Amino acid sequence: MIAALADDILQHYSEGRVIVAIDGMDGAGKTEFADALAAHLRIGNRSVFRASIDDFHRPRIERYARGRDSAEGFYRDSFNYRTFQRVLIDPFRIGHYGSFVLQAFDLSRDAAFEPKWSSGPDDAILIVDGIFLNRPELKGIWNYSVWLEVDRKVAEARMRARDGESANPERYTEGQNLYLKEANPRAAASAIIDNNDFDHPRRIFADSC
């Protein structure tokens, strides 16, 4: 299925700079899926770059400005979208004349990364994974976007296995509910993938669900 998805992207975008979003709720399997898709896209010697919105967080003081329990703060204040577009998206689109930064903020240190500038050929693909990627602020920047669909209980179990028990799971759950209500990312996606089973993802279509 991932190979077929890669073929679909290349059929639509055989040349030039292409930006692909891998969107989904926490625990949907976005990072692994994006890595697998990148590997298939590289088979034909296409230059592929990987980034994650997790490397464009805001500082802690800004993320928790509405309170550590605020679901709205989680949704609206987690990421620095201006920096994301300024140092990565906009220069990537320029082509080989533009140098771009794939990581801007180290969440573990609550500090900015020392910028590492990358460049590539005119024909290149950037794959970005993360939550909230089809929100209004980012509308129009993706050539192709994937929504990973998983049952809420499956996603929560994966998060517990990955991160342990959260002190305030409602903040994350309700923050993602705000996103679903405001942005309707499923409808915005170019492709919808049922990713409840990591080993057997399958493409589904909105009119059949």
Q: How would you class 205 by CB atoms within 10 Å of its CB: exposed for 0-12, middle for 13-18, buried for 19 or more? A: exposed
As given in the structure block, the two tokens for residue 117 are 């500038």
Residue 123 half-sphere exposure, CB side, CA atoms within 13 Å?
A: 9
Could you name the CATH architecture of 2-208? 3-Layer(aba) Sandwich (3.40)
Give the span between the Cα atoms of 14 and 127, in whole angstroms: 15
Q: What is the mean pLDDT of residues 109-121?
A: 94
Section 152-181 average pLDDT: 84
> What are the boundaries of each domain within the chain?
2-208
Share of the chain above pLDDT 90, in %: 79
Arithmetic mean of pLDDT over the chain? 92
pLDDT in tens, 5-30: 999 999 999 999 999 999 999 999 99
Q: Is residue 208 scored above 60 in pLDDT?
A: no
Residue 163 has pLDDT above 80, yes or no: no
Angle separating helix axes 30-41 and 2-12, nearest 10 degrees? 60
Candidates 104, 56, 61; CA nearest to 81 is: 56
DSSP-assigned beta bridge partners for residue 106: 111
With 50 as the cut, is the pLDDT of residue 209 above it? no
**pLDDT at res. 97:** 73
207 — pLDDT class (breaks 50, 70, 90): low
- List pLDDT tens digits, range 51-78: 999 999 999 999 999 999 999 999 999 9
